[in-house]
Chain A
């Protein structure tokens, strides 16, 4: 409040009064210069015509919109180069869009050229009401409380309070659906396991056909799922598929690095990795067969499948989990067990820095 009055004084005075807060003198308002339209009547007339033209086009376009709405059939198409659109939608959009545009252009041109452009200063005032207003409000409030009889018949007030408090319960309870709370036990039975288990066949996605190692050529990529996924339905199917999806690739064993601890996880250069990116969990199958790099399309994380799934580029912070595989009695590829580390994005509760060293 006190500052407001001092602001009203000339700038030099402010600077001398409070050098701490205003070390640089306030230059004040720029000198006002008249515009061309302020002094030249012809220029003003020209601006008036421009504004009137903009405004005058709006009724034409609005009427055009109404005409198009009724006159243009809904099944006519405009086919012009790369543009293929429904004629009616196109014309409705053009007429109404241009009407809005011209309304705005007219208003802005009016303000820029013709409306008074003298700068003014209007100081802030206190937001509090006056004493009179406050007293009047309080007496009115007392009167309302008295007239509602709530002070005399207290039971109404109490039951209303109970009603309002409990009606919030359904809404608060509903928030539990954001969960479940990720306790250690909950994590172990949800995000830290998949439906891969010893002896579960690795089958192709979509067709669920089992795979034999001799059918896979060097440079081949197979998007695969666990065979027991077929037994699930609905949301359960989707949840388990989102975690259990894998890719099977075959590389020349002489050109890749297989850590000694993972020698038994592969079949002659056929390796199986999780398809879920360890950054934020996008499914990835963009594999370059010559470089052995697997690229995530979401944030360009790149994993080297020829080197234990290590991250070679991008924001992912831990290698792609590898699924140990072998063959069953009939010669089809099966999982040796579930993943040794959780698939998908890392999370605070788990230290994933030693994922590469994990062994069976």
Chain B
């Protein structure tokens, strides 16, 4: 009994409210916003979900990569990655280096270089993963090159003891000449160096072997197979898990550091002792 009466009453109030504000100056704008919002909501319901994937080669990603390349890389590598071999600022051509080389160089901060030099040092990386993927996708369009490796290729889990031993043999044959028997790194001529391999991301080691960054030679998958590379990575892991229980390891770089200690600390203290023994003490006058 009370209900219909009340309902009729409130409806009357609402209608009166709307009609009375119909000519309010903000009404048009509000109506427009409301309409746009409704259209957007409607579109998001019926439209297909957008492609969110890091797959190399999607044209949008390549476009993004090209834009990033023009900003961060083109000053040395040329506007189209053709390279610059004359002038003060030089950079190698990038056709055929592949997405793996871009991933290695940019994610370790080696590229873009802060200044020209003998060797690009590792520094903090300013690019996000998506940006690196976009750069890689763009550089991959310049010429066929190695793609970014999959975890199945470089993950050294489940390697047998035999694989690790083979990895050790391969490491000593192919890598130790520059990177030292322990993977502690070493010096090269003219201020260049082979970086230490201790505590590195597995993917980085794999990419370095695959692409041969800077002075490092290439070890292509056809010659040094992915299984061989995985064995080398697994061997490095087991090598660096060993406790260094021989006292002071001195960096494990062999006769250089040990000789330095023997000369400066060992011989130095003997010389000081000899001087003390032979020195004239305090005389009475």
Interface residue ranges, A against B (CB under 8 Å): 33-40, 43, 77, 82-86, 90, 108, 112-113, 204-207, 209, 211-212, 215-223, 249, 284-291, 293, 295, 297, 300, 302, 313
Question: Complex: how many Å from CA A289 to CA B215?
Answer: 5
Question: Complex: how many Å from CA A295 to CA B194?
Answer: 13
- Are B188 and A295 in touch, CB under 8 angstroms? yes
- Are B283 and A216 in touch, CB under 8 angstroms? no
- Are B215 and A83 in touch, CB under 8 angstroms? no
Chain B residues with CB below 8 A from A38, complex form: 284
- Are A204 and B223 in touch, CB under 8 angstroms? yes
The listed residue (A36, A84, A206, A211) touching B166 by CB distance below 8 A is A206
Chain B residues with CB below 8 A from A297, complex form: 177, 186
The listed residue (B174, B215, B220) touching A291 by CB distance below 8 A is B215
> Which chain A residue shows the least CB distance to B227?
A207
Question: Complex: how many Å from CA A145 to CA B50?
Answer: 116
Question: Complex: how many Å from CA A47 to CA B228?
Answer: 69
Question: Interface size (B, Cβ < 8 Å)?
Answer: 37
The listed residue (B212, B219, B228) touching A207 by CB distance below 8 A is B228
> Which chain B residue shows the least CB distance to A32?
B283
Question: Complex: how many Å from CA A211 to CA B276?
Answer: 66
The listed residue (A84, A217, A286) touching B177 by CB distance below 8 A is A286
Sort A-B residue pairs by CB-CB distance and give the 9 closest, nearest first: A221-B217, A215-B222, A288-B215, A220-B218, A286-B177, A36-B282, A285-B177, A39-B284, A85-B247
- Are B188 and A286 in touch, CB under 8 angstroms? yes
Q: How far is the CB of B277 from chain A (nearest CB, A)?
A: 5
Pairs across A and B, CB under 8 Å, 9 listed: A33-B285, A36-B282, A82-B248, A84-B244, A206-B166, A206-B173, A209-B223, A219-B218, A300-B189
What does the 1/0 interface line of B230-255 toward A look like (CB < 8 Å)?
A: 00000000000001111111000000
> Taking A220-B218, A220-B220 as contacts, is the C-beta distance between A83 and B173 under 8 angstroms?
no
- Are A112 and B281 in touch, CB under 8 angstroms? yes
Chain B residues with CB below 8 A from A313, complex form: 189
> Which chain A residue shows the least CB distance to B194?
A286
> Which chain A residue shows the least CB distance to B278?
A112
**Further 8 A-B residue pairs, CB within 8 A, beyond A82-B248, A220-B212:** A37-B281, A83-B247, A84-B243, A216-B222, A220-B218, A285-B173, A288-B188, A297-B177
- Are A223 and B173 in touch, CB under 8 angstroms? yes
Q: How far is the CB of B248 from chain A (nearest CB, A)?
A: 6
> Which chain A residue shows the least CB distance to B180?
A297
Chain B residues with CB below 8 A from A108, complex form: 276-277
- Are B220 and A216 in touch, CB under 8 angstroms? yes
Question: Complex: how many Å from CA A212 to CA B220?
Answer: 12
Chain A residues with CB below 8 A from B216, complex form: 289
Chain A residues with CB below 8 A from B245, complex form: 77, 84-86
What does the 1/0 interface line of B142-180 toward A look like (CB < 8 Å)?
A: 000000000000000000000000100110011001100
Question: In this assembly, does B214 line the interface, its C-beta being within 8 Å of a C-beta of chain A?
Answer: yes
What does the 1/0 interface line of B200-229 toward A look like (CB < 8 Å)?
A: 000000000000101111111011100010
Q: How far is the CB of A298 from chain B (nearest CB, A)?
A: 11
Q: How far is the CB of B156 from chain A (nearest CB, A)?
A: 18
Q: How far is the CB of A310 from chain B (nearest CB, A)?
A: 16
Question: Complex: how many Å from CA A86 to CA B243?
Answer: 12
- Are A35 and B215 in touch, CB under 8 angstroms? no
- Are A293 and B189 in touch, CB under 8 angstroms? yes
Question: In this assembly, does B192 line the interface, its C-beta being within 8 Å of a C-beta of chain A?
Answer: yes
Question: Complex: how many Å from CA A35 to CA B284?
Answer: 5
Q: How far is the CB of A316 from chain B (nearest CB, A)?
A: 15
Question: Complex: how many Å from CA A288 to CA B177?
Answer: 11
- Are A219 and B248 in touch, CB under 8 angstroms? no
Chain A residues with CB below 8 A from B219, complex form: 220-221
Question: Complex: how many Å from CA A268 to CA B52?
Answer: 44
- Are B174 and A112 in touch, CB under 8 angstroms? no
Chain A residues with CB below 8 A from B224, complex form: 204
Question: Complex: how many Å from CA A283 to CA B173?
Answer: 10
> Taking A207-B228, A219-B218, A220-B220 as contacts, is the C-beta distance between A84 and B283 under 8 angstroms?
no
Looking at B166, B186, B247, B276, the one whose CB has the most chain A CB atoms below 10 A away is B247
Chain A residues with CB below 8 A from B186, complex form: 297
- Are A215 and B220 in touch, CB under 8 angstroms? yes
The listed residue (A33, A209, A285) touching B284 by CB distance below 8 A is A33
Q: How far is the CB of A121 from chain B (nearest CB, A)?
A: 19
> Taking A205-B173, A290-B215 as contacts, is the C-beta distance between A222 and B223 under 8 angstroms?
yes
What does the 1/0 interface line of B269-285 toward A look like (CB < 8 Å)?
A: 00000001100011111
Chain A residues with CB below 8 A from B228, complex form: 207
> Which chain A residue shows the least CB distance to B243?
A84
> Which chain A residue shows the least CB distance to B276?
A108
- Are B281 and A35 in touch, CB under 8 angstroms? yes
The listed residue (B214, B246, B281, B284) touching A85 by CB distance below 8 A is B246
Chain A residues with CB below 8 A from B277, complex form: 108, 112
Chain A residues with CB below 8 A from B188, complex form: 286, 288, 295
Q: How far is the CB of A354 from chain B (nearest CB, A)?
A: 28
The listed residue (B173, B177, B285) touching A284 by CB distance below 8 A is B177
The listed residue (A86, A112, A302) touching B189 by CB distance below 8 A is A302
Question: Complex: how many Å from CA A345 to CA B218?
Answer: 29
- Are B283 and A285 in touch, CB under 8 angstroms? no
> Taking A33-B283, A36-B281, A40-B284 as contacts, is the C-beta distance between A217 and B218 under 8 angstroms?
yes
> Which chain B residue shows the least CB distance to A287?
B217
Chain A residues with CB below 8 A from B223, complex form: 204, 209, 211, 215-216, 220, 222
- Are B212 and A289 in touch, CB under 8 angstroms? yes
Looking at B217, B244, B284, B285, the one whose CB has the most chain A CB atoms below 10 A away is B217
> Which chain B residue shows the least CB distance to A297?
B177
- Are A217 and B189 in touch, CB under 8 angstroms? no
Question: Complex: how many Å from CA A207 to CA B239?
Answer: 21
